[in-house]
Chains A and B, each alone.
Chain A
Amino acid sequence: MVSIKQDIRIGFYVCHCGHNIASMVDCPEVASYVEKLPGVVLSRDYKYMCSDPGQELIQKDIKEFDLNRVVVASCSPLLHEHTFRTAVAAGGLNPFFFHMVNIREHDSWVHTDRKEATAKAKALARAAIRRVAHHKALEVKQVPVNPDVLVVGGGIAGIHAALTLANAGKKVYLVEREPSIGGHMAKFDKTFPTLDCAACILTPKMSSVGAHENITLWSYSEVVKMDGYVGNYTVMVKRKARFINEDLCTGCQECVANCIYKEPKFTDEFNEGLGKRKPVYIPFPQATPQVVLIDPDVCLNFKRGVLTDKCKKTCVEACGDRKAIDFKQKEQFTEIKVGTIIVATGFQTFDAKRVLPYGYGVYPNVYTAMEVERLVNASGPTSGEVILRDGRQPKAIGIIHCVGSRDKKTNRWCSRVCCMYSMKLAHLLKEHTGAEIYNFYIDIRAPGKGYEEFYDKLNEEGVHFVRGRVGEVTDWGMTPEEEGKLVIRVEDTLAGFVRRIPVDMVVLATGLEPQADAQDVRRLFNMSCGTEGFFLERHPKLAPVNTFTDGIFIAGCCQGPRDIPDTVAQAGAAAAEAMVLIDKGHVEQEPNTAYVLPDCCGCKSCLPLCPYTAITFDEATKKAVINEALCKGCGTCVSSCPSGSIAQNLFEDEEVFSEIEGVLAD
């Protein structure tokens, strides 16, 4: 017979939860059983404890019966622990004198025998009664939130999030790795399904970012270090050397025109390698900031990236009075303090070389979708003329879907946008060339608004859709009309036979992948990622922009492949979530944190174990110290301390052991 301290007065409530619990657990029986347990002053069963009347009942009882502990046996704490703690607090009692028992997910929903279910409910209730007696009064911590926001990534997601927050009056730092913001969207020609010109809808937003008084735009910069906790992040940003003084450069591009290289010679990354640029260049005409930069790997004034100063520097001459070129510029490190961070680092396209049968990199006229975007773009390397690498104009084009998607050998997932962009490219290519266009697909995925209608439109335009995953693209012919062409051999599964289709150009609809450095980035920001490598959201349905680290949000393709409408929606959502924290001004922390007891011997075993880097070593006292704000109460350090010198609020030894005893008793 266990004894409970004399002054413990427990109120116990068992919820029917409609039929959810009552159908399998005999609630009145549990209530009457618990009534007899030591320490229990009252024991009730009620249909819906979480409802208003239910909560009011608790508040009334606390006052009337002078309860100092409350236990509710109902559903999962994940759902209503907060509800009941609030009710208990409203009744005048410290909310942490409340304990919740899950007799729904843990009991009623997993049993088929009423007797067994009821016995388990009794055992769980018994355990809770014993435990709650040991509960201590705890205070929810409040941590102030710095109102500034860091947005990492200047694609459409980052741009939209930054503008939303800036328009709400928040100060935003937008850090972008490339020399200009715009991301992948800046490379597109037209966007589906409306065929809006990507640059036309993007550049106004880019300009707003550049001009906004609340946005500090740091392009050609990267985050290198992040420390801190929600509301109080300290971030180190590396500003890479452009060798141009951003404040002095007017974007006139006289330096480019007067570069010692008369003709562009070097691979133009923005144009996917299809065009050339000079060592001093602006990535694309609408770049924001409208500032040039110098590539030290190819500029004659450098050798292997090191300044030699051997060039005539006709660019400096052309710049004249503006004096914007600074060859001695070094990369700079700046530290900023923000309260919330939105990570919108986007995606990378699948490397088509990995699918050898399609011949990318082997046959010159096999292109990736992104290359075609630049090809058909009026500001692209061929001014929008579809001219192949060997100079020809295509009369037949094959677009192969699912390259690097839906494939166990490369990426298992569906990249979501490829069917739509393949159709868009089919339309654009047909418009530009009048060629016969074939789309080779496994399934047509057109789920968005106006997407199915777009597919209709393509069918009406006479684009051929062949259902069959292409096996191989070859350059040998079996008939005279196949000579000199790329032959696509595919089973037309709907028609029921194999076909050989000679084309001039093959377009590979490459899938979306996490960025190459996604693992480094996620570790930098203390985020998790899924098995595919995309950043992990807190809940796939109910919290798609939150991460498991409070104060850090994700938006856009870095979380998973998605189209522009969804990306913008997510960016807005992330901005809203950040605003919740900023406008509230403070954050409440669950007090289930671990704390170090005085008998810590300073062995430092716990330091590397903390997944949240919350433990540090105080050199002065030679003891471990836990940062309450960072601690998430995982319990790793508590269980691993060799001398048992770490305890955890809400999971003290007495609390846990009494719970175990309670379950095993009887």
Chain B
Amino acid sequence: MKYSYFPGCSLKGLGRAYEESLLPVMKHLGVELQELDDWNCCGATAYMAVDEVKACVLAARNLALAEKSGLNQVMAPCAACYLVLNKAKHYFHDYPAMKATMDRALNAVGLHYSGDTPVRHPLDILLNDVGLEAIKQKVEKPLKGLKVATYYGCQIVRPYATFDDQYNPTTMDRLMEALGATLVHYPLKTKCCGGSLTGTLPEAGIRLVYILLNEAKKRGADCIATVCPLCQFNLDGYHSQLKAQYGDVLVPTVYFTQLMGLAFGLSDKELGLNRVAVPFKWRPPLPAAATPVPA
């Protein structure tokens, strides 16, 4: 299983812990990832606010590069990149005028996009290509006793729900259960975290973060598992403002790949667990066999 890997700007920047945990986990499962050569920014929501045609062209360059590399299945872990790349693909297929512009722009730099490259999320690849059985086999330290609230955010389920249910996604849930964790019923699993508004319009954005954390805390979650670097940043980074305004609502927020890595027995450093602002101290209990026999 080999895929073209599209990290996106965030995984090299604020979300580097996502990449740091994703790569060893994938390697451990025998999934080969080849970083897309010379990939460019997908544009995310910001470019859409400037010009949607140019935003699609930007995204299409990456898809064309993937096709050129011969590995035509793209894994896009960042939720925003996942959405934008899929959106470009849809526009390419649904609107002939868009397609013509995209073709022309790509031709100008000697590239070509056929429209066929699937853009997939790691959860999709883990559950459908690798399979939960294979993952279960690699679990060395089951996450026994960890109460996880799975948080999908909006971008991997709306508006394109390609691999999971739009209202009640369960891929991450099933993954967590395969790792031995206990799921917490979290009805807000697809509610928006505020996105970039936490930085630009904090009064609105931070409140959305508060609602998410508060509910997770009420339900007794030990941590929140995320799939999106911006969601992780929002839920994790504003703890001082949240504490000041709303009191103690902090719940550690980690990437699902970090939890996978812990279950596989990988080290903290390897998984970038030191990069979370709200410390996540829980570690899986040693398996019974390793309990030292009293002398």
Q: What residues make up the interface of A, taking CB atoms closer than 8 Å to B?
A: 356-357, 362, 474-476, 478
* A357 contacts B167, C-beta separation under 8 Å: yes
Which residues on B sit within 8 Å (CB–CB) of A474? 187
* A356 contacts B187, C-beta separation under 8 Å: no
> Is B164 located at the chain interface by the 8 A CB criterion?
no
Q: How far is the CB of A508 from chain B (nearest CB, A)?
A: 15
B215 nearest in chain A by CB position: A476
Lowest 7 A-B CB distances belong to which pairs?
Answer: A356-B167, A476-B187, A476-B215, A474-B187, A475-B187, A357-B167, A476-B188
Give the docked Cα–Cα distance between A285 and B215 (Å). Answer: 48
Give the docked Cα–Cα distance between A478 and B212 (Å). Answer: 11
* B168 contacts A356, C-beta separation under 8 Å: yes
Interface of B is mostly: loop
> Is B100 located at the chain interface by the 8 A CB criterion?
no
Give the docked Cα–Cα distance between A148 and B221 (Å). Answer: 71
Interface of A is mostly: loop
> Is B211 located at the chain interface by the 8 A CB criterion?
yes
The residue in B165, B167, B188, B215 that gathers the most chain A C-beta atoms within 10 A of its C-beta is B167
B168 nearest in chain A by CB position: A356
Which residues on A sit within 8 Å (CB–CB) of B211? 478
A478 nearest in chain B by CB position: B211
Q: How far is the CB of B166 from chain A (nearest CB, A)?
A: 8
A475 nearest in chain B by CB position: B187
B218 nearest in chain A by CB position: A476
Q: How far is the CB of A441 from chain B (nearest CB, A)?
A: 23
Which residues on A sit within 8 Å (CB–CB) of B166? 356
Which residues on B sit within 8 Å (CB–CB) of A362? 168
Give the docked Cα–Cα distance between A475 and B185 (Å). Answer: 11
Give the docked Cα–Cα distance between A476 and B216 (Å). Answer: 11
Which residues on B sit within 8 Å (CB–CB) of A356? 165-168
B185 nearest in chain A by CB position: A475
Which residues on A sit within 8 Å (CB–CB) of B188? 476
Which residues on B sit within 8 Å (CB–CB) of A476? 187-188, 215, 218
| Given pairs A356-B168, A476-B215, 11 additional interface contacts (CB within 8 A) | A356-B165, A356-B166, A356-B167, A357-B167, A362-B168, A474-B187, A475-B187, A476-B187, A476-B188, A476-B218, A478-B211
A-B contact pairs, 8 of them (CB 8 A): A356-B167, A356-B168, A357-B167, A362-B168, A474-B187, A475-B187, A476-B215, A476-B218
Chain B 137-175 residues near chain A, CB threshold 8 A: 165-168
Q: How far is the CB of B170 from chain A (nearest CB, A)?
A: 13
Q: How far is the CB of B204 from chain A (nearest CB, A)?
A: 13
Give the docked Cα–Cα distance between A356 and B187 (Å). Answer: 13
Q: How far is the CB of B213 from chain A (nearest CB, A)?
A: 13
B214 nearest in chain A by CB position: A478
Give the docked Cα–Cα distance between A362 and B218 (Å). Answer: 20
Give the docked Cα–Cα distance between A356 and B170 (Å). Answer: 14
Which residues on B sit within 8 Å (CB–CB) of A357? 167
Give the docked Cα–Cα distance between A357 and B165 (Å). Answer: 12
B166 nearest in chain A by CB position: A356
Give the docked Cα–Cα distance between A475 and B215 (Å). Answer: 11
Chain B 70-117 residues near chain A, CB threshold 8 A: none
